[in-house]
Amino acid sequence: MSAAARSGEAAGLMDRMYRHQRHIYDASRKFYLLGRDGMIAALDPPLGGSVLEIGCGTGRNLIKLAQTYPNAVCYGLDVSEEMLVTARRNVERAGLSHRITLAQADATAFDPQVLFGLGGFDRIVISYALSMIPPWQGVVAQALRTLAPDGSLHIVDFGDQAGLPGPFKAVLNRWLTLFHVTPRPDLGETLDALARAEGVRARTTRLYRGYAVHAVAERGVA
């Protein structure tokens, strides 16, 4: 299958899933997409810095980001045009259309120059999207290559569940499968290996007994 066909397939799947869910997405996901606000609080972009969210969904994180860092210039991409309809409306309602630019694109094959006129970003955020993208390692690799010289990549997602009780894990995983979500237990190790290949330092923190993971890779840190 060609790359364009794969992107079209991903867009179709996500559009079908979020066509109706997008209306209750933020209200429902706040209970289980844990760690997003902590990631935003630790982002600390430079003055006037650029921040890209890959898989931005309804724009919830970008709006929080823009409000938390009033000098940052924000960009978001998502494969689902349905999600972007909600994101555009939310951004407009928040009065942030002049600071947040949104575009439809597949995280596995996007050109930041074509989409946003930028070659690299000071901060890149990927929040609960890698667990929905089958070739997620390629997305991490591209994100690392798309960092500005002192840029950093910030990931939050479902974790390895190592400290969670067995029955809870079983129910959680069955439920996540319904939403096409596959936790990536080796996210930390994979990021570490990909980051080392790029000369970037990475660190991973397990949250809530491994329910979630917060990983950061920083370019320019010895």
Query: Considering beta carbons, is residue 12 or 220 the nearer one to ligand SAM?
Result: 12
For ligand SAM, how many residues bind (rule: CB under 6 A)? Answer: 22
How far apart (Å, rounded) are the C-alpha atoms in residues 139 and 129? 10
Residue nearest to ligand SAM (CB): 57
Residues 13 and 180: beta-carbon distance below 8 Å: yes
Shortest separation between residue 127's beta carbon and ligand SAM, angstroms: 3
Shortest separation between residue 149's beta carbon and ligand SAM, angstroms: 25
The answer to the question of residue 154 lying near ligand SAM (CB under 6 A) is no
Query: Considering beta carbons, is residue 88 or 201 the nearer one to ligand SAM?
Result: 88
Which listed range, 40-48, 102-110, 158-166, 204-212, lies at the site for ligand SAM (CB under 6 A)? 102-110
C-alpha triplet 198, 201, 206: angle, nearest 5°:
125
> Phi, psi at residue 31, to the nearest 5°?
-80, -20
Which residue, chain included where needed, has tokens 């606000």?
37
The three-state DSSP-derived secondary structure of 60-93 is: HHHHHHHHHCCCCEEEEEECCHHHHHHHHHHHHH
Shortest separation between residue 145's beta carbon and ligand SAM, angstroms: 16
Exposure string of 59-74, with b = 16+ CB inside 10 Å and e = fewer, is bbbbbbbbeebeebbb
The answer to the question of residue 217 lying near ligand SAM (CB under 6 A) is no
Contacts of 109 (CB under 8 A, 6+ apart): 3, 7
The answer to the question of residue 72 lying near ligand SAM (CB under 6 A) is no
Query: Considering beta carbons, is residue 133 or 140 the nearer one to ligand SAM?
Result: 133
The answer to the question of residue 112 lying near ligand SAM (CB under 6 A) is no
Query: Considering beta carbons, is residue 5 or 47 the nearer one to ligand SAM?
Result: 5
DSSP, collapsed to helix, strand or coil, labels residue 129 as coil
The answer to the question of residue 79 lying near ligand SAM (CB under 6 A) is yes
How far apart (Å, rounded) are the C-alpha atoms in residues 152 and 133? 21
The answer to the question of residue 61 lying near ligand SAM (CB under 6 A) is yes
Q: Interface with ligand SAM by CB under 6 A: which residues?
A: 10, 14, 29, 33, 36, 55-57, 60-61, 78-80, 83, 106-108, 127-129, 132-133
